[in-house]
Amino acid sequence: MTDTSLPQEHSAPGGAPPADTLETARHRLAVRLLIPAQVLLVFIVAFPLLMQVYISLTWWSPLDGEPWYRAYDAWSWFDNYVELFRDEGLWQAVWRTLLFVAIAVPIQFALGLVLAILFYEGIAGRGVFYSLILMPMMIVPAVAGYIFFLIFQQTGPLNALLALVWDGAYGVNWLNDVDRAFIAVIVADVWQWTPLMFLILFAGLMSVPEDQMRAATILGASWPQRFRRIALPRIKAVVIIALGLRVIECFKIFDMLFVMTGGGPGVATESLSLFLYKQTFQSLEWSYVAAIGITVLVVLSLITAAILARAGRETR
Amino acid sequence: MSSVTLEGTTKTFGDFTAVRAMDLQIANGEFVAILGPSGCGKTTTMNMIAGIEEVSAGTIRFDARDVTRVPMQKRGVGFVFQNYAIFTHLSVRENLAFGLEIRGLGRGEIDRKVGEMAEFMALGHRLQEPSAALSVNEMQKLAIGRSAIVEPAIFLLDEPLSNLDAAFRERMRAELRQLQRALKQTMVYVTHDQIEAMGLADRIAVMNHAVLQQFDTPKRIYDAPANVFVARFIGAPSMNILPVELSGDAVRLAGRPADSLPLPAASRAALADRQSRDLLFGFRPEALRIADDGAEASLSAEIVLVETVGRRAIVHFQSGTSRFTGVFERGFPGRAGEAVPLAFDMGRAHFFDRESERRIEITPGRGVLDG
C-alpha cells in the first residue's frame, strides 16, 4: 500500500516539492560562482593548447610576417609530425633526456630512501639535519645551476679539493667534457631533488603504524624484513607518486642545464626542453616546436595516467 | 614457556625513575597482572621484559637464561598490543604465518601450524580473508594466535581490553582466561583496571610511583593489603582509612571519645607498643553493619549521603571529624541527616603505621585475617 501511495504523492499535479527548487537554485549559484575560474582556465589552458594544435598543422613561422591566426595559409597537415619522427637531433635529445632520468631519478630515490630510513630510526641530531637536508629544494633551480656552474669550474672549489689528494686535479675540465658535463649535471640535479624524495618517503614511513613495526620486530623480523613486509606495502603508493613526480619533472629539466652547460659541449647535455628552446628562439620554427610540444604532452599524460592508476590501485 | 625473574630491575629516563629496583618472580605457566594507576611504571616494566625498553640496572631472566641484553627480536616473547597491531594489509593466514616465515620454516610446516592455530582460535573459516575485516573479538584472537604460533617463552599483554565497551570486555576477559589455560602460557598482563586484574590473574603485582607495592594473589591483595596505597587502590568503594586514638584495649575515632571500639585479642597484642599518633585505622565499606544491640563495637554516625548503585547502597557517614563509607543492600533504611548506630567487624579491621604506611601484621593463626 505505502509502496504505491508514495510515488503518487510526489507526482501529484501542481506541487513540485520545494526541495527541488532549492536544489536547482543551488545548482545555478554553483555554476555562476564557477564561471570566473572556468573563463580563466579557458584562457590559460584551453586557448594556448588549441592554438598550439592549430599551428602545429601548418608551416607558419613568425618570420613569415603573417599573424598566427592566418597560419592556415601555410597549411601542411601532419608534415610537422612526420618530420618529428625523422629528426635525428630531436631523438638524440630525447634519448639523452631519458638517460638522464634513468640515472638521476634512481640515485635520488636511493639516497632519499636511505635518508628517510635513517631519520625514521632516529639518528642523532636529526632536528638540525632536517632543515639542512631540505634546503637545496628551496633554491631556485637556475640559482642551483649557477652554484654548480661555479663549483665545477676548472679552478673551482671542487678541483681545489681534489688537488689536496691529487696533483693533476686542476687539469680536469668538467663542463667542457662530453661525459663529465653529463655527470656534473646529474650531480647538481641529485643534490637539488634528493630532499624532495626524502621528504615524501619519510612522510610515508612515518605513516606506517609504529606498533605494527614493533609487533613484527618482536616476532623476530630484522629491519630489512620489516621494511619489505610491513613498511613497503604501506608506502607503495607514496613510492610510485614520488618516482612519478621526479620522472616527469626530470624529463622537463631545463634551467639547471641552461645555466651550467647551455646544452654543451656541442649537444652533449642538450635535453628535450633545451632542444625545444633552441628550435624556438634560434631556428624560430614555431610550428615544428608546437608539434613536438603536443606530442610530448600526449606521451607524458599517458604515462602519468598509468602511474596514477597504479598508485590508486595500491592505496586500495 | 618459561618463568620470569626480575632482580633489581630499574629503568631511568634522565633524572626520572620509571621503575625502581623491581624484584618479581613469575612462575612457569602463571597468569600475572601488573596493576597500577597511570604513570606507575607498569608499562615500562612490561616493555623491559619484552626488550622494547633497555634495562638501566638489574637483570631479567627467562628460566635460567639472562635476557637483560638480548634484543627484542631475539628474546622470544609474545606481545599483544593494546590495539592488537594486526598487519591489516595482510590476510588472516599471512598474519598467522608471519613469525614462522621469519624463522624460515618450510611451506608444509607453516601450513600445518597455521591450520592448527586457526582451528584452535576458531578462525579457520576466515583464513583467506583480509585481516582488516575481522571483528574486535577475532582480532584479539588473531593477535594472540600470531604470537602463540611461534611458541614464545612468555606472553605479554598491554591492556588488550581497555578500548572495549564494558559488556564486551567481560566476555573477552572470560575468553582470554580460557585461552591462557588452554595455551598453558606464562602471561603477564598490564592493566589499570582492578576488576580485570582480580578476575584474571593468579597473582597481581601492584605498582605505584615506580615501586612494586605488593605481589600476591588477588585474595591476599584484597584481604591483606601491604600498605595504605594497595588498601585504597583495590576495592570499590575503596577502604576507609582514618586516624584513631588508641587506648589500651580499644580505639576511638578522632573527635568521638564516647564511642569506643574494643580490639580483639590478636589486634591488642600487635598494637601493644604503638602510640595513637603512629596509627591509621582501616576498614572496608563492607565491614560496616547497622548495630542491632549495644553489646558489640559500635558508634553513632550521621548519614551524609545515600547512593544507590545497582543492587547496593553506598552510604557516606560522618562521625566526629571522620568521614567514611559503607556498603549495604539496596533498601538501606536510613536517610541523609539521620544518625544511626554502626557496628564494626573489628576482626576484619586493618592497622597501618602512619609513618611508613605499611600494614601492621596482626599475628596470624587466630583466624583474624583468614575470613
CA-nearest residue of chain B to A210? Answer: B85
Distance between CA B296 and CA B355 in Å, rounded? 30
Query: How far from A192 is each of A114, A136, A185, B92, CA to CA, in Å?
Result: 16, 5, 11, 43
Q: Suggest the residue from A219, A236, A238 to mutate for an interface test with chain B (most B CBs closer than 10 A).
A: A219
Look at residue B256 and tell me whether its pLDDT is greater than 80. Answer: no
Look at residue B71 and tell me whether its pLDDT is greater than 50. Answer: yes
Contact across the interface for B99 and A217, Cβ inside 8 Å: no
CA-nearest residue of chain B to A224? Answer: B102
Say if B132 is an interface residue toward chain A (CB within 8 Å): no
Look at residue B73 and tell me whether its pLDDT is greater than 50. Answer: yes
Determine the average pLDDT of the residues in B7-20: 93
- Please indicate whether residue A91 or residue B275 has the higher confidence score (pLDDT): A91
- Please indicate whether residue B167 or residue B285 has the higher confidence score (pLDDT): B285
The per-residue pLDDT for B344 is 80
The per-residue pLDDT for B294 is 57
Contact across the interface for A234 and B89, Cβ inside 8 Å: yes
Torsion of CA A239, A245, A246, A249, to 10 degrees: 180
CA distance B99 to chain A (A): 5
Confidence of residue B367 (pLDDT cuts 50, 70, 90): very low
The per-residue pLDDT for A10 is 45
Interface of B with A in 72-131 (CB under 8 A): 72-79, 81-83, 85-89, 98-99, 102-103
In contact, B52 and B75? CB cutoff 8 Å: no
Contact across the interface for A216 and B146, Cβ inside 8 Å: no
The per-residue pLDDT for A315 is 65
Q: Range with the lowest mean pLDDT among A202-206, B187-191, B344-348?
A: B344-348
Distance between CA B109 and CA B115 in Å, rounded? 10
Cell of A102: 634513468
| Three-point CA angle A304, A305, A311, nearest 5° | 90
Average pLDDT of every residue of chain B: 87
Per-residue pLDDT tens, chain A, 316 aa: give them.
344 444 444 444 444 455 667 888 888 898 999 999 989 988 888 899 999 899 889 888 888 788 888 888 888 888 889 888 888 888 999 999 999 999 999 999 999 999 998 888 877 777 788 888 888 888 888 899 899 999 988 888 888 888 888 887 787 888 888 888 889 999 999 999 999 999 999 999 999 988 899 999 999 999 899 999 999 988 888 898 888 889 888 888 888 888 888 877 878 888 888 888 888 888 888 889 999 989 988 988 898 888 888 878 876 6
The per-residue pLDDT for B25 is 94
What whole-number percentage of chain A has pLDDT above 70?
A: 93
Three-class DSSP labels, A194-261: HHHHHHHHHHHHHCCCHHHHHHHHHCCCCHHHHHHHHHHHHHHHHHHHHHHHHHHHHHCCCHHHHHHC
In contact, A287 and A59? CB cutoff 8 Å: yes
The per-residue pLDDT for B295 is 54
A-B C-beta contacts closer than 8 Å:
56
The per-residue pLDDT for A7 is 42
Look at residue B45 and tell me whether its pLDDT is greater than 80. Answer: yes
Q: Which ipTM value was assigned to this complex?
A: 0.79
Give the nearest partner residue to B89 out of A221, A222, A233, using CB atoms.
Answer: A233
pLDDT tens by residue, B148-179: 898 888 989 998 887 777 777 888 888 888 88
Determine the average pLDDT of the residues in B270-291: 84
Cell of A65: 610576417
The per-residue pLDDT for B87 is 93
The per-residue pLDDT for B342 is 87
